[in-house]
Amino acid sequence: MNPSTILILGGAIALIMLVIGLIVTATEEKSLVDERLEYLEEEGEEVIPKKAVIGEWVGKQATRYTWGQRLTRVLARADVKMKVGEFILLMMVLMVLGALVGWFLAGGPGAATGEGGSILGSIPGLLIGALAGFFAPILYLKRQQGRRLIKFDNQLADMLSLVVNGLRAGYSTMQAMEAVSRELPPPISDEFRRVVQEMQLGIPMDTALQNLTRRIPSKDLDLVVTAINVQREVGGNLAEILDTISHTIRERVRVKGEIRVLTSQVMMSGRVLSIMPIAVIILMYFINRQYMMRFFNPETRMYGIPALIIGAFLIMIGYFTMQKIASIEV
């Protein structure tokens, strides 16, 4: 790898870090007054938006489709302070930057000048970089969503204990939820603060709780919401019902924690063993591209391409088999 390629690669990495830093800075939570002052600028009777028009347009177009609405729910569940349009633009930027990095690593500048082989030989590196830039934010979202859901489930029993004590002290259900939003740490306090705010705006309690279960896909939470809705319709001692559910949820959390510890090695082994062949192929492509291109040469591709397809199929079978073995319902 010549010095110019190293400099270009370093510049691309610096640009990626700069873009990520700007996006994180721009998407920080602001006060309501500051946000309104930044968003609106009055000129006579006109109101001019100052936010990026491209992001707003992309978000509107995306939410017209099912995948855009699903992405909106995933962003809310992961508690990522970005809109759909901003996240899609981030994915596009990372795809372009990843494609450039993959192209340079595959000898793109040399291929373009005729010194590093054909330009077609650099296309797999470009595709690998683009795919890495596309899937990196999606994997981050999935990871954040899973970690937030586990943290929410672990706090649910404490939330129920606080609600039960509040109800026995004479609080209403809404006042008990408001106490949860004040006393407990995030993420459960943030979610119940939103529930209380929705009810204060006039939304019925069952609708606000249904919105909560849509943001937090937890079976334990669904059990709690069902109990509250049934009690509001047929009556009964809600404190006793929630106290019983709290004991059940504590036991479920304990058992799920033990299962997670016992199956973590199997799940991690499945992920590592599935990623290792792909990582070796990508690494060998960048280190010794001539050797890896034997899979696609006209003389040997009738054996190389089927070998790659069969290997990918076996990797997928092994991964899903190990994940199925480690997946235990409680």
Which regions in the chain score pLDDT beneath 50? Answer: 3, 25-51, 111-117
pLDDT of residue 37: 41
pLDDT at 42: 43
Residue 328, token pair as written in the block: 């235990």
Which residues, listed in sequence order, are joined to residue 40 by a DSSP beta bridge? 49
Nearest to 16 by CA among 91, 110, 112: 91
Helix locations, the chain, DSSP H:
3-26, 32-39, 53-62, 66-78, 84-105, 108-112, 123-168, 173-183, 188-200, 205-215, 219-234, 238-287, 289-292, 301-326
Nearest residue to 242 (alpha-carbon basis) of 254, 229, 257 = 229
The reported pLDDT for the residue numbered 17 is 62
pLDDT for the residue numbered 310 = 92
Q: What residue spans define the domains of the chain?
A: 1-148, 151-258, 262-330
Helix axes 3-26, 84-105, angle to 10 degrees: 170
Write the DSSP string, 13-70: HHHHHHHHHHHHHHTS---HHHHHHHHEEEETTEEEE-S-HHHHHHHHHHTTSHHHHH
pLDDT in the model for residue 16: 67
For position 3, what pLDDT does the model report? 47
| pTM of full prediction above 0.75 | no
Sequence-separated (6 or more) residues with CB below 8 Å from residue 137: 87, 90, 91, 94
What fold characterizes domain 151-258? Receptor-associated Protein (1.20.81)
Query: Phi/psi zone of residue 44: left (φ > 0), alpha (ψ -120 to 50 degrees), beta?
Result: left
Residues 6+ apart with CB under 8 A from 162: 176, 179, 180, 183, 184
Instruction: Please tell me the predicted confidence (pLDDT) of residue 214.
Output: 87
